[in-house]
Structures are given as structure tokens and as C-alpha cells.
A = this chain, B = another copy of it.
Amino acid sequence: MRLGIIGSGMVGRTLAADLARLGHEVVIGTRDPGKLEAFVAEHPGVRAAPNSEAAAFGELVLLATNWAGTREALELAGADNLNGKVVVDITNPLDFSTGRPALALGWNTSAGEQVQGWIPGARVVKALNIVTADAMLKPREFTGGEPDMFIAGNDAEAKGEVTRLLESVGWGVVNLGDITMSRSIEPLAMIWIVHGFNSGWTKRNHAFKLLNR
């Protein structure tokens, strides 16, 4: 399928490479496509373009920005280019200003809700924010069973599309409800991050699984 990626940092590039490898056509959005020349040359199926073009190209768009740059990146993408589109919000509203990871917001709001508010015509689905970029499309690499991805969003059909994409690579998918459930999913990313941070990042290859009895 045609995928647009907003955000050309480590997360955006890793997703672009892995999605192209899975056979998708990918446009990765960036302020300066020239900076991605070498990356694009190494990854057939990936093209670099301004965020507006990535947004317009994608049947499904992945938002993989640093939190501080998210609103501006979406403005550059253009809300009109995202109308009706499924936008997978991978962001975490992180604040490292104290020297240890914290959430910049939470409880009665969330990044997911803010993103949905900035692009009201898009169908935002919170997903993929609770693992490292390199594992987002490789859940089968985890041992001990199928890991689970928690998702949230206001549009059932959009969540269905994201569920199919995630299940196709090997995630179990748990739909928690509307986009306000990002208020719980983003703190789960904090558990992932703090567990890694506490280990001096020797632990960065974990994912969550729901067990039953």
C-alpha cells in the first residue's frame, strides 16, 4: 500500500526501511529531502519529499516525530492532505529537561488527543509507541510468544486498518477504546523508557504481552 511517513529521524527512517522491505511504497517526509539522498539510495521503494507530499501520497500516514516538533510537522504536512486519512500516532510527549525521562503532559490529555485536535479531519490511531523503532515491524523477533500492541482511536474502521497492518507482521492487537485511552498508552511507553533508562539502555529490547490464566 502507499504509505506516508511524517518525521525523518531515527524512527521515521527505520519505519520507512522496514515498510519498503515489506513491499509497501513509502514517501518519507522531511524539511530537506536532500539530506536523505544516501538513505533513499540504500532503500529501494522509499522516496524523500516534503511533509506535504508524504501526507498527500499516503493512503495511511505514520506520524514519527519528536514531540516538540510534532505540531509544526503537521502544519507543514497540511491538515487538508490528511483529511479522511488514517494517521498512526507513534509520538510520545517526552520531556528530558530534568535529566530523566518524564511525560510533558498526561492524565487529562495526551499526545494522541492533541494530534487528533491538530488534524481534526484525520482518523488518528495511537499505536506502536511502546517499543523501539527497530521492533515496531518485527514483533516476531521477540521470544516467549506474540507480543501485544495496545491501540486507541475514535474511528473503528481506521483501527481495523491499523489492526490488519499490525497483525500482518505478528502483533497481537488490543483495542482499548477512543483516543483518550492514549492517556494510558503513553504512560506505558514511560515504563518501557524508564526500564531502559534505568539499565543504562542495556535493556531496550522489550515488549509487552498480555498473559491469561
A residues sitting closer than 8 Å to B (CB atoms) are: 103, 105-108, 135, 138, 141-145, 147, 150, 174-177, 181, 183-185, 187-188, 190-191, 194-195, 198, 205-213
Contact = CB atoms under 8 A, between A and B. Distances in A.
Given A207-B210, A208-B210, 13 more contacts: A103-B183, A106-B187, A107-B107, A150-B191, A181-B194, A183-B190, A185-B191, A187-B187, A195-B210, A206-B212, A208-B209, A209-B209, A209-B211
Contact of A144 (B142, B185, B211): B211
Contact of A188 (B108, B188, B194, B206): B188
Main secondary structure of the interface of A (DSSP, over half): mixed
A185 B210 CA distance: 15
A180 to B, nearest CB: 9
Contact of A195 (B135, B174, B191, B207): B174
Given A107-B106, A184-B194, A212 B142 contact: yes
Contact of A143 (B143, B190, B211): B211
How many copies the complex holds: the figure is 2
Contacts of A143: 211-213
B198 A206 contact: no
A207 B211 contact: yes
Nearest to A106: B107
A194 B185 CA distance: 12
A169 to B, nearest CB: 14
5 closest residue pairs by CB, A with B: A106-B107, A107-B107, A187-B187, A142-B211, A141-B213
